[in-house]
């Protein structure tokens, strides 16, 4: 197991290395104005030249790449050019990621707590009222554009439950609506997948044998079906969790949460190359961590996956 | 064959009718079947796909699909009518405890995420009330019984670490661990290759002796039947059309469908001649069947076969067949040479033995 994790980590670092190099190269192909920022108009061409070479942009490309890696290893992602001039990128991202992280994790936790049991119950009562109700909910959330039901929440739910609409760090009651809004879609998808995998498993032969040997329906559900149905879930769960963490532009702007959602768009619009670079690094690391966690989770629940040297499946 | 002489019925099916509702249409899967299962015997139910053999045994265990129901008739076991059972609680007194099942495909019949030891132990705990160490010991005993070596190590392994034949042994161990009186084997060898088939059948036979089980085999393989069964019930289109001791049905079959089945055995084929096959298709079970269901495919069909369902005619004490050909007024029919030769050979064999 440790050997496997080590190997996967090594692979991921290589993947990350490739991604960073590609992003770095792409940004170097872009116009240099991005590094000049708002000051571009005020500088003479000679001044611009001095400024750019101070930034190291006149060095040979390989030297630039080398410098970039060295800085990266020291936790230095450079300084913001236009977004918040001269503030280290790490600081900017760190300020924002904390909100996205908390709301992301909160929403995922909420949707797991509601979605998974809902899916189980729906599979258990397949074809009955609860299943129909749940299916209705899933179809609604998936088919109706998010903007529509977010607006409904803003217009009516705030009224009915007297919940404040705008986010305020120091008033926990304002956290409720953003959390619920964020959890709506993942809840539906967890319920849908859980129901689907449970129903799949329930039709398998080993369930027939278990029934024939006199196992109670309830025991059957929890001791035989659930774990099997969870395998496909386990694999992609960590990845979905991490994608939720990266923040939702729409919800964050709706409730004015100072999270990461809008940062990438802002940075691109303002041609802030260093922030874009830093964000791509963060997002791809999260994605890769998600994949590793998925693989590990899957290996933990499924004995058929043999993790060892050579990874041979017997 | 001894068992059939000391007749005491353990399970009795009486005028059973089972219907399914499929997309608004009603399908009659079992049409008025009566069948006795005797203590300690081994009965084979044979018939082609869709003849209702699986439905019949599923109804005995209360495992019919949700759209199927018993319309009429009784299934008597220990003075209780299983056909009246409705709740899970009632069935849990029967499933496993009294009647256990060996399922068809060992590759998919075991839970891939539980060690085989735990899967057997589940039955031991449920039906024999043992716990902890005692249950573990008992489980190892069943593993040994079905011919698994190195049981303590095997106990901790998962199904994917076993071959098909080994998995079928595990499935048998699961059924045995329930401590049933009746063991139903639903095509226990279909998914296995021929050499393993023979081993599994021998194993089942030995275990039947050891545990004093009454066994029911469901199969469409007459070779399997010949090896294990004391009695045969031949099913066609949801009805039992002939029932008797194995040698009686094999070597003195009376129903044209039985003849057709035996004639289709590859062993009876002559070199250079086409292998016999039954013409036509089985009847549509959505429609009501009038007369003998086999009549349209039967070269010996009489006029009455299309009009009235034949009753059971008695051939011997143990042998009955549902065909008008046994009526005294029926004309004599000429059977093909190969079939007659097979019957003759079989009877001589029986006499020699």
- pLDDT, one tens digit per residue, over A65-88 is 888 888 888 877 777 777 777 788
CA distance A138 to A185: 8
> Closest Cα of chain B to A301: distance in Å?
8
Q: Tell me the mean pLDDT in the region A45-54.
A: 79
Q: Which residue has the tokens 């070199």?
A: B271
Among chain A residues, the shortest Cα distance to B184 is held by: A212
Do A213 and B174 lie within an 8 Å CB cutoff? yes
Tokens 């009566």 locate to B34
Residue A216 touches partner B, C-beta closer than 8 Å: yes
Q: Nearest-CA residue of chain A relative to B91?
A: A214
The C-alpha atoms of residue A21 and residue A253 are separated, in whole angstroms, by 32
Say if residue A312's pLDDT is above 50: no
Residue B152 has pLDDT above 60, yes or no: yes
Q: Is B352 left (phi over 0), alpha (psi -120 to 50) or beta?
A: alpha
Q: Of A181-190, A253-262, B129-138, B258-267, which gets the smallest average pLDDT? A: A253-262
From A218, A221, A213, select the one nearest A197 (Cα to Cα).
A221
Q: Flag the least confident range among A121-135, A231-245, B258-272.
A: A231-245
Please name each of the domains of chain A with its CATH number.
92-271 (1.10.3720.10)
3-state SS, one letter per residue, for chain A = CHHHHHHHHHHHHHHHHHHHHHHHHHHHCCCCHHHHHHHHHHCCHHHHHHHHHHCCCCCCHHHHHHHHHHHHHCCCCCECCCCCCCCEHHHHHHHHHHHHHHHHHHHHHHHHHHHHHHHHHHHHCCCCHHHHHHHHHHHHHHHCCHHHHHHHHHHHHHHHHCCCCCCCCCCHHHHHHHHHHHHHHHHHHHHHHHHHHHHHHHCCHHHHHHHHCCCCHHHHHHHHHHHHHHHHHHHHHHHHHHHHHCCCHHHHHHCCCCCCCCHHHHHHHCCCHHHHHHHHHHHHHHHHHHHHHHHHHHHHHCCCCCCCHHHCCC
Report pTM.
0.80
Query: Lowest mean pLDDT: which of A145-154, A181-190, B310-319?
Result: A145-154
- Chain A residues with CB under 8 Å of B126 CB are 213-215
How confident is the prediction for chain A on average, in pLDDT? 81
The answer to whether A253 and B125 are in contact (CB under 8 A) is no
How far apart are the C-alpha atoms of B238 and B53, rounded to whole Å?
8
Domain-located, residue B2 = no
Between these two residues, A3 and B181, which has the higher pLDDT value?
A: B181
Q: What average pLDDT does this structure show over B259-282? A: 82
> What confidence score (pLDDT) does residue A266 get?
82
Q: What is the pLDDT of residue A71?
A: 83
Which residues in chain B have their CB less than 8 angstroms from residue A124's CB? none
The distance of A125 to chain B (nearest Cα, Å) reads 13
Q: Which residue has the higher pLDDT, B336 or B122?
A: B122
| Predicted confidence (pLDDT) at residue B235 exceeds the cutoff of 90 | yes
Structure tokens, B49? 């796909």
State yes or no: pLDDT of A101 exceeds 70. Answer: yes
Q: How many domains does chain B have?
A: 2
Q: What is the DSSP string of A186-254?
A: HHHHHHHHHHHHHHHHHTSHHHHHHHHTT--HHHIIIIIIHHHHHHHHHHHHHHHHHHHHT--HHHHHH
The model's confidence at residue B59, banded by pLDDT at 50, 70 and 90, is very high
Closest CA to A229 of A102, A116, A62: A116
Chain B CA closest to residue A301: B113
Write out pLDDT tens, residues B8-29.
889 999 999 999 998 888 999 9
For chain B, give the percent of residues with pLDDT over 70: 98
Q: Does A209 contact B109 at a Cβ distance shorter than 8 Å?
A: yes
The pLDDT assigned to B344 comes to 85
Q: What is the mean pLDDT of residues B179-187?
A: 92
* Residue B135 included in any domain: yes
Place of tokens 């292998």: B275
What's the average model confidence in pLDDT over B173-198?
A: 89
What confidence category does residue A313 fall into, taking pLDDT thresholds of 50, 70 and 90?
A: very low
Evaluate whether residue B11 is within a structural domain: no
Does residue A249 carry a pLDDT above 80?
A: no
Pick A293 or A165 by higher pLDDT.
Answer: A293
A115: helix, strand or coil: helix
How many A-B residue pairs are in contact by the CB < 8 A criterion? 74
Q: How confident is the model at residue B175 (pLDDT cuts 50, 70, 90)?
A: very high
Is the pLDDT at B4 greater than 70? The verdict is no
Q: From the CA of A153, how many Å to the nearest CA of chain B?
A: 41
Structural domain containing residue B159: 108-179
Residues B244 and B174 in one domain: no
Q: Taking 90 as the threshold, does the pLDDT of residue B225 lie above it?
A: no
Q: How far apart are CA B139 and CA A144, in angstroms?
A: 54
Which of these ranges, A308-312, B102-106, B158-162, B197-201, has the smallest mean pLDDT? A308-312
Selection from B180, B181, B150, B186 nearest residue B168 by Cα: B186
The vertex-B229 CA angle with B224 and B234, nearest 5°, equals 80
Residue B155 has pLDDT above 90, yes or no: yes
Shortest CA gap A117–chain B (Å): 21
Going from the C-alpha of B185 to that of each of A131, B106, B265, the distances in angstroms are 35, 12, 22
pLDDT of B214 > 90? The answer is yes
How far is Cα B176 from Cα B97, in angstroms, rounded to an integer?
10
Strands B214-219 and B182-186: what pairing?
parallel
Tokens at B122, concatenated: 């589940």
Residue at a domain's end among B164, B179, B194: B179
Is pLDDT of B85 > 60?
yes
Contacts of A231 in chain B (CB under 8 A): 113
- The residue assigned the tokens 């009186």 is B181
Angle, CA B236 vertex, CA B284 and CA B40 arms, to 5°: 145
The answer to whether position B201 is within a domain reads: no
CA A118 from centre of chain: 23
Which residues face B240 on adjacent strands?
A: B235
Q: A293: how many CB neighbours lie within 10 A of its CB?
A: 18
Q: Are B115 and B158 in contact (CB under 8 A)?
A: yes
User: Residues 293-312, chain A: which have Cβ within 8 Å of B?
Assistant: 301-304
* B69-80 tens-digit pLDDT: 898 999 999 888
Give the model's confidence band at A38: pLDDT under 50 very low, under 70 low, under 90 confident, else very high: low
Confidence of residue B142 (pLDDT cuts 50, 70, 90): very high
Chain B hits for A304, CB-CB cut-off 8 Å, are 112, 158, 160
Element (H, E) at B328: none
H helix or E strand, kind and range, residue B19? strand B9-22
Q: Provide the pLDDT for residue B169.
A: 92
Q: Does position A157 have pLDDT exceeding 60, yes or no? A: yes
Q: Is A184 helix (H, G, I), strand (E, B) or coil?
A: helix
Short-list B184, B183, B315, B182, CA closest to B251: B315
Given an 8 Å threshold on Cβ–Cβ distance, is B110 in contact with A209? yes
Which residue among A206, A212, A231 sits closest to B95, beta carbon to beta carbon?
A: A212
pLDDT reading at B88 higher than 60: yes
B68 close to A (CB below 8 A): no
Among B179, B206, B226, the domain-final residue is B179
The residues, any chain, with a CB within 8 Å of residue A93's CB and separated by 6 or more, are: A77, A260, A263, A275, A278, A279, A282
Q: How far, in Å, CA of A194 to CA of A236, rounded?
A: 12
Please tell me if residue A213 touches chain B, with a CB cutoff of 8 Å: yes
Contact B126, A215 (CB under 8 A): yes
pLDDT tops 50 at residue B1: no
What is the enclosing helix (H) or strand (E) of B11?
strand B9-22
Whether the predicted interface score ipTM is above 0.85: no
B70 within domain boundaries: no
Q: Note whether residue B294 is domain-resident.
A: yes
The two three-digit tokens of residue B174, written as one number: 């699961």
- Shared domain check, B244 and B174: no
Residues of B in contact with A128 (CB under 8 A): none
Which of A252, A115, A271 has the alpha carbon at shortest distance from A194? A115
B341 touches chain A (CB under 8 A): no
Domain final position from B143, B158, B179: B179
- On the question of pLDDT at B160 being above 70, the answer is yes
| pLDDT given at position B19 | 92
Residue A134, token pair as written in the block: 């749940």
When pLDDT is averaged across residues A199-222 and rounded to a whole number, the result is 87
């Amino acid at each position: 197991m440790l050997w496997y994790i080590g190997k996967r980590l090594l692979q991921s670092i290589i993947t990350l290395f490739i991604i960073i190099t590609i992003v770095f190269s792409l940004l170097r192909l872009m116009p240099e104005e991005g590094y000049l920022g708002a000051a571009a108009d005020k500088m003479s061409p000679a001044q611009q030249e001095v400024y750019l070479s101070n930034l190291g942009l006149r060095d040979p490309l390989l030297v630039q790449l080398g410098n970039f890696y060295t800085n990266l290893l020291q936790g230095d992602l450079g300084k913001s050019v236009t977004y918040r001039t001269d503030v280290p990128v790490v600081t900017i991202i760190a300020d924002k990621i904390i909100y996205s992280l908390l709301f992301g994790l909160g929403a995922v936790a909420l949707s797991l707590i509601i979605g998974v049991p809902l899916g189980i119950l729906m599979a258990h009562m397949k074809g009955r009222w609860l299943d129909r109700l749940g299916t209705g909910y899933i179809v609604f959330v998936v088919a109706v554009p998010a903007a529509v039901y977010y607006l409904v929440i803003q217009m009516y739910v705030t009224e009915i439950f007297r919940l404040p609409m705008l986010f305020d760090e120091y008033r926990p009651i304002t956290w409720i609506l953003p959390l619920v809004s964020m959890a709506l879609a993942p809840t539906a998808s967890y319920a849908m997948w859980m129901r689907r995998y449970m129903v799949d498993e329930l039709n398998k032969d080993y369930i027939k044998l278990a029934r024939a040997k006199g196992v109670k329906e309830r025991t059957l559900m929890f001791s035989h079906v659930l774990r099997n149905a969870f395998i496909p879930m386990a694999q992609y769960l960590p990845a979905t969790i991490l994608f939720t963490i990266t923040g939702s532009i729409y919800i964050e702007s709706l409730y004015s949460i100072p999270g990461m959602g809008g940062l990438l768009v802002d940075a691109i619009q303002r041609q802030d190359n260093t922030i874009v670079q830093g964000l791509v690094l963060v997002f791809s690391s999260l994605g890769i961590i998600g994949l590793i966690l998925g693989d590990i989770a899957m290996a933990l629940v499924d004995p058929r996956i043999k993790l060892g040297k050579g990874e041979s499946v017997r | 064959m001894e068992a059939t002489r000391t007749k005491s019925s353990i399970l009795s099916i009486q005028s059973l009718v089972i219907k399914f509702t499929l997309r608004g249409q009603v399908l009659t899967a079992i049409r008025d079947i009566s069948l006795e299962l005797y203590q300690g015997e081994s009965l084979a139910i044979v018939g082609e796909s869709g003849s209702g053999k699986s439905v019949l045994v599923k109804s005995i265990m209360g495992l019919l699909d949700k759209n199927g129901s018993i319309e009429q008739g009784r299934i008597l076991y220990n003075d209780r009518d299983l056909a009246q059972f409705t709740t899970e609680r009632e069935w849990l007194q029967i499933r496993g405890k009294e009647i256990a099942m060996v399922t068809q495909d060992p590759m998919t019949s075991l839970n891939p995420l539980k060690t085989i030891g735990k899967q057997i132990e589940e039955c031991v705990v449920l039906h024999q009330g043992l716990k902890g160490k005692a249950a573990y010991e008992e489980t190892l005993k069943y593993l040994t019984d079905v011919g698994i070596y190195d049981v303590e190590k095997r106990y901790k392994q998962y199904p994917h670490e076993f071959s098909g034949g080994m998995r079928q042994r595990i499935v048998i161990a699961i059924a045995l661990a329930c401590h049933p009186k009746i063991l139903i084997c639903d095509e226990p060898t279909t998914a296995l290759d021929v050499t393993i088939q023979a081993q599994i059948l021998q194993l089942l036979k030995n275990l039947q002796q050891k545990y004093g089980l009454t066994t029911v085999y469901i199969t469409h393989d007459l070779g399997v039947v010949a090896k294990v069964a004391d009695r045969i019930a031949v099913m066609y289109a949801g009805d039992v059309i002939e029932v008797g001791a194995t040698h009686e049905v094999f070597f003195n079959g009376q129903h044209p469908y039985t003849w057709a089945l035996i004639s289709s055995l590859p062993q009876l084929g002559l070199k250079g001649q086409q292998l016999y096959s039954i013409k036509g298709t089985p009847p549509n079970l959505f429609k009501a069947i009038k007369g003998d269901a086999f009549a349209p495919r039967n070269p010996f069909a009489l006029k009455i076969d299309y009009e009235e369902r034949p009753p059971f005619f008695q051939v011997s004490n143990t042998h009955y067949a549902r065909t008008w050909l046994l009526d005294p007024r029926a004309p004599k029919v000429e059977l093909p040479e190969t079939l007659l030769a097979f019957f003759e050979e079989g009877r001589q064999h029986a006499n020699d033995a």
